Amino acid sequence: MEFTPALKQTSYRLKFACGAFLFVFFTLLYIYCLPPGLAPYRDAGEMACDAYSLGVPHQPGYPLYALSARVFTMIAPGNFAWAMNLFSAAAGLGAIMVFYGFLSALFSPLSAVAASVLLGFNFTFWTVAGVSEMYALNTLLACLLLYLAFDIEREYAKQKCFLLAFLAGFSMTNRMDIVFVFPAAAILIFPALKNAWRGAWAANLLKVSGLFALGFSLYLYLPVRSASNPLFDWSHPADLASFFSVVTRKSYGSTLDLISRNYFMGELFLPNLKYYALHLLANFNLALLAACAGLCVEFYFHKKRFLAVAALFVLAGPVFLFMGNMPPNPHALAIVEPYYLLPDLAVLFWTASGLFYMGERFRRFLPLVVMTAAGAALWAFYLNFPRADRRDLFAAGDYASDALRSVPPGGVLVAKKDVQLFSLWYAQTVEKIRPDVSVVAQGLSASPWYRNTKRLYSPGLALYNLHSGGESEWRAFAAANSGGLYATLDAELPAKVPAVPAGLVSALYTSFFAPPPKADGASKGHGPVKLSVSEAAPAVAADIFYPLPFYNFRFFGGSYHDFFDRDLGASYAQALVARAAFLNTSSSQDTEALKGLELSARLDPDIPDARLYAGFYYSSKGDWRRAGENFRASAEIYARLLELSSEYHSLDSLKSGLAASSAYAWLNYGVALEKTGSSTEAEAAYIKALEANPGFAQAHYNMAVLYWNKDPKRVYSELVETLKIDPSHKEAAYYLKRMRQEAKSNQ
């Protein structure tokens, strides 16, 4: 399009006005939605601690993020966590503005605004632009690299090439996945370099390689800082071998996360592709029509540009998802989701191209094009704002505070999951809450660097391998450390480690343990005695528990924002269920246990044990109708979780565990139905229990009880099957022996 001077001036004014609108609007919006403190998001607590203490983060070290965030927080207002969130918001705003800058240089300002607004309203981008993680900064750096590459393609300058080389190396010290932008940049600039560097390739390559290495040299911060033994010294890269392992993420190999090692390469590619497509549909909706149009326009009229952007999309999207090979469960998807942002830039580039082309080619349909872009943006805002508004998100700080308050002075607290553990780290490191409690990372407890750090900063703590070690390691750990041993509900305990619920954590190896449950029975005529469904241990040492007002979950009653704050809600729910299970048969506290179960179901309706133990409560009161309702609800939750486990490609061990628990819920539902005289329905429940777990001996035994005095042959076969599965089943052995003796005496 040819511009007269007047039209050019109008275009510049429109471009400036659109840019000013974007800057003001997203500045106000992102600040308005910022979490007030530490946001519960994957490694946010760890990254905040690393920036605060200038420590060494986990592999590959992220020196650019840690250092730049620390500098920013020195001048930013507010508490440290809020300042870290503000840093991400500033990086996110910068990404929007740079993205708009190079789009408006290629297309019209209005089409560039539309694509930039969609980037800003993208829930994934909006989220990372408000948490203490490095993803927003990574998106900013990607946009800068693309901006420079497009600028070099349009007008070559040696200085721009040198700047691009330095920025490429520099950006890799924030996140390594920025390399997916490099092929796109190379495709764009190669023709210009081919002409400009003719006869001087070697000298120029040497210069740009040196500038790339200069930017990449920021990684030298890691061994230098590690040599001073900081509070956080992940993998201790002061050792040369360790340094190379950190930078190359050697312990992860070619995987995104160690979870993926449980699956064959490419096994989960199609499910991941499906979820990325759903992400695009949710965030860009109608604008995807423009993206398809832009894709075609670029292919037919701008081949080089098309190849560059397509390379970015294919490598950062499908190829990365293939390599990542993550199971499509909520946790893994939450890990993968920030990686969608680089291919999203390609989709939004095509969106801007499509809007520009349709607006110019079909001018009479321009109002329709504008309405489509506006509708897509408004729909994305409508869907995403409620969850992206994190002004009331106190979950991470509240969880850490409550967990630490659950531990007595001088105690040791073991935690495993990232958000739970890193929230505890932040509470102690930055907010100085309960420094007397020794927090131990279960997954790191066997790592030499972690043990060395603990020896320096917690000299009184004796560490053992709590990650892969068995019960003997845990027992030795408890004996070697005074003050009591505690574990968060996410910690993985060996089966023989005794645990008692204590607030938001479990007390391990405490003297307050209940005796083994007694077999309490209800006889059916002359038939065998069936174990009662209510077998929870009687309550003892009730003063070990905190009352319900102890909990400090301030956003209780609201909706969850994402997987991570929901997971913290589940931690509270699990603590309430554990507490209720422990108190279940106490006549003095069973009402309080029921209240806890009701609260648990509100915090996390997907915890089947809440309804299971409510069934135990009502069965102990003789209210078999309500008991049956709760047992059935528990069984249905388990059935739904089993279906999801197949969709999520969960490991067989998880599926078998869910199946066994589902069978137990159906068994208890069958008992409740028997108590109300519904024998036919009870049999159906026992059949469901056996469908879920064919090796469930108790279900066969209960079926034998159901047919007692009705069908001796069926009773006999069910008792035989019970003993075939569980030869130690005393009641089945007794009654089978009795039946054989009676049959022998009748001959």
Q: pLDDT of 514-530, one tens digit each?
A: 333 333 333 333 333 33
Query: Does the structure show a pLDDT above 80 at 378?
Result: yes
Q: Count of CB atoms within 10 A of residue 718's CB?
A: 23
pLDDT-derived band at 738 (thresholds 50, 70, 90) equals: confident
Query: Does the structure show a pLDDT above 50 at 538?
Result: no
Query: Does the structure show a pLDDT above 70 at 665?
Result: yes
Please tell me the predicted confidence (pLDDT) of residue 256. 53
pLDDT-derived band at 364 (thresholds 50, 70, 90) equals: confident
Query: Does the structure show a pLDDT above 70 at 129?
Result: yes
Give me the residue label for tokens 């240089």. 105
- DSSP-assigned letter for residue 233: B
What are residue 499's DSSP bridge partners? 508
Options 3.40.640.10, 1.10.3720.10, 1.25.40.10, 3.40.190.80; CATH for 521-745 is 1.25.40.10
Of the candidates 276, 277, 257, the residue with the CA atom closest to the CA atom of residue 337: 276
Please tell me whether the peptide bond between 494 and the residue prior to it is cis, using omega within 30 degrees of 0.
no
Distances (CA, A) of 2 to 7, 166, 310: 9, 35, 28
Please tell me the predicted confidence (pLDDT) of residue 259. 66
> Taking the alpha carbons of 159, 162, 164, 167 in that order, is the dihedral positive or negative?
negative
Q: How confident is the model over 292-344, as pLDDT tens digits?
A: 999 999 999 999 999 999 999 999 999 999 988 888 888 889 999 999 999 99
Q: What is the mean pLDDT of residues 443-470?
A: 93
Q: Count of CB atoms within 10 A of residue 209's CB?
A: 12
Calculated CA dihedral for residues 563, 565, 571, 576, nearest 10 degrees = -120
Please tell me the predicted confidence (pLDDT) of residue 48. 97
Mean pLDDT across the chain: 87
